[in-house]
């Protein structure tokens, strides 16, 4: 009898086109209804219900009830990281879908990857933090002492982010740039900071993040282009 993690089960669940589309839709970090996910998956409501039950049983999604309605989200950040990594691998191997139109450049520039910043902006931020010595990557990605000072000056409460259940810093492969961006609790906190300060906003019904003119200037000042990049 073979033992160990059952990657075939996870692969089969994600590999179905309808379920893959549903999971991709949840990468926005927003909770969606079964009807909305049925539209994303291109299936009937009954078929969508069956897909969602299987995904929920495997822990890939979570159900949240509010009154008479149920909403679905990704199970946790690890599921989001897995999906983004799979997107990166697919892009690297040339397995790309037909471009859908003008939203693509905006998605590539800045978007939400479950709960953190991805795209060209996310990669630039990661490269800049590494070049400045704020992050170092050895056995794992770590925030340095000067990095802690930088984040504190920015208004990030590192004590609040500390948790044994979730890494503070984690690199995530960006599917469009095919390079790393910053995930983990710090990656989420930075995206929240950009939105709370009015530097950026989430586009309704999309994963796109749009920076304001002021936000662009502030972002470029904080995260200059890394020479090593």
pLDDT digits (tens, 9 = 90+) for 190-206: 999 999 999 999 998 78
95 occurs within a structural domain? yes
**What was the pLDDT predicted at 228?**
45
pLDDT above 50 for 124: yes
**What was the pLDDT predicted at 229?**
39
**What was the pLDDT predicted at 177?**
78
Domain that holds residue 52: 7-75
228 occurs within a structural domain? no
Q: Last residue of a domain, which of 58, 75, 92?
A: 75
27: nearest Cα among 81, 99, 88:
81
35 and 87 inside one domain: no
Contact 118, 170 (CB under 8 A): no
pLDDT digits (tens, 9 = 90+) for 38-75: 999 999 999 999 999 999 999 999 998 877 788 999 99
pLDDT digits (tens, 9 = 90+) for 139-153: 889 999 999 999 999
Q: Last residue of a domain, which of 44, 75, 106?
A: 75
Domain count, the chain: 2
Q: Give dist(CA 185, CA 162) in Å, integer.
A: 8
What DSSP line would sit under 150-217, residue for residue?
A: HHHHHT--HHHH--TTS-S-EEEE-TTT-SEEEEHHHHHHHHHHHHHTTSEEEPTTSSBEEE-HHHHH
155 and 101 inside one domain: yes
227 occurs within a structural domain? no
Q: Give dist(CA 55, CA 60) in Å, integer.
A: 5
**What was the pLDDT predicted at 204?**
84
201 and 90 inside one domain: yes
pLDDT above 70 for 99: no
Helix (H, G, I), strand (E, B) or coil at 79: helix
pLDDT above 80 for 187: yes
159 and 130 inside one domain: yes
71 and 89 inside one domain: no
56 and 157 inside one domain: no
Contact 128, 226 (CB under 8 A): yes
164 occurs within a structural domain? yes
Q: Give dist(CA 154, CA 152) in Å, integer.
A: 5
132: nearest Cα among 62, 65, 91, 182:
182
44 occurs within a structural domain? yes
pLDDT above 80 for 171: yes
């Amino acid at each position: 009898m073979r033992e160990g993690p059952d990657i075939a089960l996870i692969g089969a669940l994600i590999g179905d086109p309808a379920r893959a589309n549903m999971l991709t839709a949840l990468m926005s970090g927003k909770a969606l209804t079964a009807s909305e996910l049925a539209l994303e998956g291109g299936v009937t409501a009954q078929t969508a219900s069956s897909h969602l039950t299987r995904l929920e049983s495997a822990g890939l999604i979570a159900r949240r009830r509010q009154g008479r309605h149920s909403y679905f989200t990704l199970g946790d950040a690890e599921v989001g990281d897995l999906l983004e990594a799979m997107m990166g691998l697919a892009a690297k191997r040339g397995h790309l879908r037909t471009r859908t139109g003008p939203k693509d450049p905006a998605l590539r520039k800045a978007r939400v990857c479950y709960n953190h910043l991805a795209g060209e902006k996310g990669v630039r931020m990661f490269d800049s933090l590494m070049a400045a010595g704020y992050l170092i990557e050895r056995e794992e990605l770590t925030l340095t002492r000067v990095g802690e000072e930088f984040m504190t000056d920015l208004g990030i409460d590192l004590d609040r982010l500390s948790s044994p259940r979730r890494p503070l810093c984690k690199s995530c492969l960006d599917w469009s740039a095919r390079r790393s961006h910053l995930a983990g609790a710090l990656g989420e906190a930075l995206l929240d900071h950009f939105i709370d300060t009015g530097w950026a906003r989430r586009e309704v019904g999309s994963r796109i993040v749009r920076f304001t003119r002021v936000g662009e200037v502030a972002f470029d000042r904080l995260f200059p282009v890394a020479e090593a990049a």
